[in-house]
Amino acid sequence: MSSEAVGAVCEIQKKAKNACRCPCINHALNNSLSTSVNVICIRNAVGVMKSVVSFFNMSATRDQVLKSTLGHQLTSLCETRWVERHEGVIQFRSGFSQIVEALTLISVWKDAKTSTIATTLLNSLCTTEFLLSMLSLIDILKITLPLSGLL
């Protein structure tokens, strides 16, 4: 959309020769936040959170277990809209103990595949690296969330 060669900017500048390109500041913030994914422990923590959300969302039965412990579904971590990712990560943290409880309940199911995945996710959530990464990410997101909302 903001490309000077093709897209909206190019089309507008064809019609209005004096128009100048003004990139969206929120897009610039999103791009800078996206570079945090290059930090391996943050990237891994976000990946684990996405896996947990997908695990519950892919099955009505597992989703019901989560709803009975947490009270609601988890918000997905959007790839492109960091405001939604902020909310998803903060929601994940606030319901962390209930998520662990739900995974613990599922980890003892007789369905070997489901219980194995639940156990693996549970083990990933309970590592020091994950916990510190999640808390560090939340500290940053708490600062950028109001800014992103304003922009």
Residue 59 to residue 103: CA distance in whole angstroms: 13
114-132 pLDDT per residue, tens: 999 999 999 999 999 999 9
* 146 burial level (CB within 10 Å; 0-12, 13-18, 19+): exposed
Q: 77 is written with which tokens?
A: 């971590």
pTM for the complete prediction?
0.74
Query: Does the pLDDT value for residue 142 go beyond 70?
Result: yes
Residue 124 to residue 135: CA distance in whole angstroms: 15
Q: What is the mean pLDDT of residues 24-41?
A: 69
Residue 94: per-residue pLDDT: 92
Better-predicted residue by pLDDT, 144 or 132: 132
By percentage, how much of the chain surpasses pLDDT 70?
77
Residue 76 to residue 109: CA distance in whole angstroms: 25
Q: How many CB atoms lie within 10 A of CB 8?
A: 11
Amino acid letter at 80? Answer: T
Dihedral sign of CA atoms 85, 63, 59, 114 in order: positive
Contact 86, 141 (CB under 8 A): yes
Q: 37 is written with which tokens?
A: 């994914």
Q: Band of the pLDDT at 56, cuts 50, 70, 90?
A: very high
Q: What is the mean pLDDT of residues 119-146?
A: 90
